[in-house]
Amino acid sequence: MAKFPFFGGDTSRRIAEADSVAVIGLGRFGSSLALELMSAGTEVLGIDLDEDLVQAMNGQLTQVVRADSTKEEALRQLAIDEFDRVVVAIGDDISASILTCSVLLSMNIPVIWAKVVDDRHGLILDQLGVHHVIYPEKDMGRRVAHLVRGAALDYIEVDSGYALVKAAAPNELLGKRLGDTGLRAAYGVTIAAFKRDAEQWRNADADTMLQAGDTILVVGPTASAESFAQLR
Ligand code: ATP
């Protein structure tokens, strides 16, 4: 327990009322997700079966509890049924992941996110009705492949076939109003934002004039956005 001296349902209930998320499974993925949520100001109840992990996370999350998430009674005691958002970050033990999701679905948790290790695991959670099934390793592998093959500084495929790419501003756009470059017609992409030196990111518009050394955010169909990022 971090901020609250009392352990158990009452504390969890109080957390559930706030902007809060319960994270089940505090391995590398779950703990990094939980810490990121905390740093963004979200209250986090962390749950794990492993006492050492619970001890290690103690003090870093709003509350950390040792419990077996496959047991409905244990989750009810922690008032998990009062949370609007629960993340199941159990990967290796597929049966524990499936059982946990099944219990959460039977509690009618409005939004359940679950990480999976492979397509078979993902298919089962989809069939159960888990709202968001995430494939961290597969997604990261695909993302890094795009970084490795191209000049993109960062890359996110927003949806299949549509991407957001961070890249250096290409020479041919420098010193011209973006509105005069014919960018959309020529490349099928839009420059959404740009960053100059140590300044903050700024939204780009038709009057934006890029300078050498600027970094840009390009959005568009994946192939177009990627080839645009290759321009020098
Ligand atoms: P990562 O790659 O994120 O470290 P992983 O994919 O190897 O994780 P696991 O090690 O299977 O995933 O699970 C992550 C955490 O979930 C572990 O710390 C484990 O103790 C916890 N966990 C597994 N089963 C349960 C359960 N039934 N109840 C609560 N926690 C569980």
Is there a single domain that holds both residue 67 and residue 178?
no
Test site for ligand 1: of 48, 69, 99, most ligand atoms within 8 A of the Cβ: 48
Tokens of 215: 């970094």
204 C-beta neighbours (distance < 10 Å), count: 19
Q: What is the pLDDT of residues 78-90, one digit of tens each?
A: 999 999 999 999 9
**CA count, 13 A, side-chain hemisphere, 47:** 27
Domain containing 176 equals 140-229
- Using a 6 Å cutoff on CB, does residue 97 contact ligand 1? no
Helical residues (DSSP H) of 107-193, grouped into ranges = 119-128, 136-149, 183-187
**Residues facing 148 on adjacent strands:** none
Expressed in angstroms and rounded, the spacing between residue 192 Cα and the centre of ligand 1 is 39
Is there a single domain that holds both residue 166 and residue 78?
no
Helical residues (DSSP H) of the chain, grouped into ranges = 9-17, 28-39, 51-57, 72-77, 94-106, 119-128, 136-149, 183-187, 222-230
Expressed in angstroms and rounded, the spacing between residue 31 Cα and the centre of ligand 1 is 10
CATH number of domain containing 172: 3.30.70.1450
By CB neighbour count within 10 A (0-12 exposed, 13-18 middle, 19+ buried), where does 107 fall?
middle
Is there a single domain that holds both residue 130 and residue 144?
no
Of ligand 1's listed atoms, the one at least distance from the Cα of 69 is 28
Contacts of 171 (CB under 8 A, 6+ apart): 212, 231, 232
Q: What is the pLDDT of residues 15-45, one digit of tens each?
A: 766 779 999 999 999 999 999 999 999 999 9
Is there a single domain that holds both residue 145 and residue 130?
no
* Mean pLDDT, rounded, for 37-66: 96
Is there a single domain that holds both residue 105 and residue 123?
yes
CATH number of domain containing 73: 3.40.50.720
Q: What is the pLDDT of residues 109-161, one digit of tens each?
A: 999 999 999 999 999 999 999 999 999 999 888 888 878 877 788 888 888 88
- Using a 6 Å cutoff on CB, does residue 48 contact ligand 1? yes
87 C-beta neighbours (distance < 10 Å), count: 25
Expressed in angstroms and rounded, the spacing between residue 206 Cα and the centre of ligand 1 is 49
What kind and span of H or E run contains 9? Answer: helix 9-17
